[in-house]
Structure 1
Amino acid sequence: MSIRIPHLPLGFLVFLLCLKAAIAVAEQAQKPLVIFAAASLKDALEEVVALHAAAHEGPPVLISLASSGALARQIQFGAPADLIISANRAWVSLLEKEGLIKRARPAFSNQLVVASSVEPEQNIDFTRRETFKAALADGYLAVGHVGSVPAGLYAHQALTYFDLWNDLAPQILQVDHVRAALRLAQVNEARLAIVYASDLVAQTTVHKLALVPEEAHEPIIYTIGLLSHNSTQAAGIFADFLTSKPALEVFYHFGFTPLR
């Protein structure tokens, strides 16, 4: 005995297809956007995400913070990020070469500073080797790891430029991200730390001792990369929002600077 499959009306089939599409859209709308961001962006980016949520409908945004190098390696190993905001263009360029990023753009800049939890009687001159060494004395200098933390890379470039890196090597503490270097200065585990100017804006316990001359290191350019596997409109909208006037005003408020 054969079983006869009933014929479904064309209109009903169209309805089922539309329903399936609507369910897929609804599920996509609930899937959060995952943003991999340099640790130095924490305070500003949280405010920008809140600003975006107030102005746009769409999925929630989750932020994962680490050094730019660590984030890039996670993406290489298949981490499910939608966007990366790196404090160094080179990491984004590497991901582009590997076909992992389909669109990238520069966003804003920053400045490198020497900081300490001890408020100075006067600022030190970073360009004078003996002045800098006297300020450090027998203490430690905290910097990001030069191989994965952009702030550490810039610090290494600047200290090498002024012929200080080799002399100070026994006193240099390399840490996992720039906020960890800041933390060592806050708790007096390091006498000095080289961090971003923006890192000092949202706290009051660490003070700027010197501005690191920009000619001593490569330009600090925060770069946004949209991951190739991402096909959601929401990710593109958020990426565009990051360089909109309202978002940039927030970043500038937190100590980041315009591109030159």
Structure 2
Amino acid sequence: MKKIFKLLLIGFMVVLFGCGKEEKKEITISAAASLKEVMNEIILEFEKENKDIKININLGGSGALKNQIISGAPVDIVFFASQKDLKDLDEKGMIEKNYNEDILKNRMVIVGKEKINDLSEIKNHKIAIGTPETVPAGKYAKEVLNNSNLWNEVQNNIVFSKDVRSAMQYVEIDEVDYAFIYKTDAKIMKNGIISFIVPETLHKPIIYSYGIIKDKNSKEVIKFYEFLKSEYSQSLYEKYNFEIANK
């Protein structure tokens, strides 16, 4: 009898203390691959300040992330390297009205192993760009090549990648001679240099937009949304060569 009572007491204590332990609130953000390093730092600081919240991050090409969300992927916040991808979700009624805005600016560069003085010098070289249909950096790269009357001349030499980081890696492992990537990605490149800074007149402005998914505006999600545009986060964006959109 004593043994049964002891087991019941242990079971009661497990239930009592188990119920008293509050589970962390989990938030999932889908973010452009070019945000990887800065998002890791932001999340680390946010979780340090908010020990009851855990942030999960899903990185990739903005167009691919958008399509995942349209297909029902469980996401709370999106952070795209493209105004259009956020606008597409907004037009489908999938973004909270009061929680979406432009936040960052970036620049397009060509990276390789040596400098070039003119865009035309990439002709007859193997080039990596993100797949234009799903990767904003690839879309901007195609726009640059079209506006420079080079697309038809280089098209057969292009290697398409799943995101901007993959395009950069093709240069680092010598699979291609040049790649169109963001200035921010070039900062973390280990085996290559900025060969050419693309004039901004050759493409639309590179604007990053973010927002909360419809009906996901819990107090915890809003807290993280606000933290993403805080002075602390802005200092980290600038550390990684991003520009603040509204400055």
Class of the TM-score when normalised by the shorter of the 2 chains: 0.7 to 0.9
Question: Deviation string for 1:160-200 (max 9, x for gaps)?
Answer: 11111111000011111001101101100010000001112
Provide TM-score, normalisation by structure 2. 0.87
TM-score by length of 1: 0.83
Which letter maps to 1:161? N
Aligned to 1:254: 240
- Distance in 2 (CA, whole Å) between partners of 1:55 and 1:212 is 39
Match of 1:166 in 2: 152
**Counterpart AA for 2:26:** P
Q: State the 1:201 CA deviation.
A: 1.3
Deviation at 1:123, TM superposition (A): 4.0
Amino acid in structure 2 at the alignment position of 1:154: Y
Counterpart position of 2:118:
125
Q: Specify the alignment match of 1:115 in structure 2.
A: 111
- Aligned partners of 1:100 and 1:227 also within 8 Å: yes
Mapped to 1, the partners of 2:25 and 2:222 lie a distance apart of 15
Which AA in structure 1 matches 2:187?
Answer: V
Higher gyration radius (CA): 1
CA distance in 1, matches of 2:170, 2:66: 25
Give the corresponding residue for 1:96: 90
RMSD: 1.6
More strand by share: 2
What pairs with 1:25-104 in structure 2 (closer than 5 Å)?
26-27=22-23, 30-102=24-96, 103-104=99-100
1:224 aligns with: 210
> SS state of the match for residue 104, structure 2?
strand
> Which residue of 2 is the match for residue 11 of structure 1?
none
Aligned mates of 2:244, 2:166 — CA distance in 1: 25
CA distance in 2, matches of 1:232, 1:220: 30
Q: Per-residue deviation at 1:232?
A: 1.6
1:67 and 1:182 mapped to 2: Cα distance?
14
1:215 CA displacement: 1.1
